[in-house]
Amino acid sequence: MGKGGSLSDGVVKKILLSYSYVAIWIFLSFTVIVYNKYILDRKMYNWPFPISLTMIHMSFCATLAFLLIKVFKVVEPVSMSREVFLSSVVPIGALYSLSLWLSNSAYIYLSVSFIQMLKALMPVAVYSIGVLFKKEGFKTDTMVNMLSISFGVAIAAYGEARFDTWGVILQLGAVAFEATRLVMIQILLTSKGITLNPITSLYYVAPCCFVFLLVPWIFVELPVLRETSSFHFDFFIFGTNSVCAFALNLAVFLLVGKTSALTMNVAGVVKDWLLIAFSWSVIKDTVTPINLFGYGLAFLGVAYYNHSKLQALKAKEAQKKTAQADEEAGKLLEEREGEGNGKKSESQG
């Protein structure tokens, strides 16, 4: 009885820890999105410089990642040649910098709720680019599901009260670059046996992002910042914002490491609904019934996509276990046959 009780206590503890990791990730992701919106929105903090904000995040994250890996040695570094860095990490850094720049820029023009609705197109973009680069096989039922997600997002866009064409272009561009980055990670890193956790990823990718963003920053934002002589760098605002951005990367490391990538996808859906509710109730963004109906359709499509991916993963694991069992049974049979042949030769001798 005691053993059974201790086992159930262990299971309960594990479940509670998993929920804690999910709650921390949702809270930090929620905080970073709302904080970025607060800083960039002209009606709030009124600092509409998305490239500058992204560069502050990247420099802060790169510095902390360097300290954790090289000074405090909390995380093991990944051995990487110069050739691999230039051919694999640098292109991923370029895509990440464009994704962050465009997604942060969208907060100036669109509401938080509408941005979350547009982000539902991420599976569509990842699947389409995966098929284009031959990392995913074309399946008619999956494509129909992708079209249903797109249709739902189109309805949500039609019902948007504060629709801004430039803002939508920026957010869709961010989704496209982020989806390409995710596919490129598979092609350029995973295929070479290189796996980067969020800390080692920041150590290698964040400095690349900073360098890539430096070029548009010099031409787009620096001249405007020079003119706004009244601006003084607020260490509290930008410091806490950067800490939240770095903590979010740590939370991703914890969540995926201790649970699974699928748990993170499900948690992401919960976070999106919470952000829509927050945007409507606190920021007072207009959320129309057509918005919700369209996003509801897209949400069902995304949920079905995640379910299909889980079933495929389970089938693959079951197939792998069957193959391993067959291999072990074959080895055992060979050993027994060997033993039998040995005994025969002994008796003949």
Residue 26 is assigned to a structural domain of this protein: yes
CA–CA dist 190, 302 (Å, integer): 25
Residues in the chain with pLDDT < 50? Answer: 1-6
CA–CA dist 53, 45 (Å, integer): 13
Residue 341 is assigned to a structural domain of this protein: no
Residue 164 is assigned to a structural domain of this protein: yes
Residue 332 is assigned to a structural domain of this protein: no
Range 105-129 burial, b when 16+ CB lie within 10 A, else e = bbbbbbbbbbbbbbbbbbbbbbbbb
Residue 138 is assigned to a structural domain of this protein: yes
For the chain, give the longest Cα–Cα distance: 102
According to the model, what pLDDT value does residue 2 have?
47
- Please write the tens of the pLDDT for every residue from 243-254: 999 998 888 767
Residue 347 is assigned to a structural domain of this protein: no
> Is the four-CA dihedral 49, 229, 35, 197 of positive or negative sign?
positive
How far is residue 164 CA from its own chain's centroid?
26
3-state SS, 39-101, equals HHCCCCCCCCCHHHHHHHHHHHHHHHHHHHHHHCCCCCCCCCCHHHHHHHHHHHHHHHHHHHH
Split into its structural domains, the chain has a count of 1
Residue 342 is assigned to a structural domain of this protein: no
Q: Is 340 exposed, middle or buried (0-12, 13-18, 19+ CB in 10 A)?
A: exposed
Residue 276 is assigned to a structural domain of this protein: yes
Other beta carbons less than 10 A from residue 189's beta carbon: 20
**Domain of 148?**
16-228+236-327
According to the model, what pLDDT value does residue 1 have?
45
| Contact between 105 and 155 (Cβ < 8 Å) | no
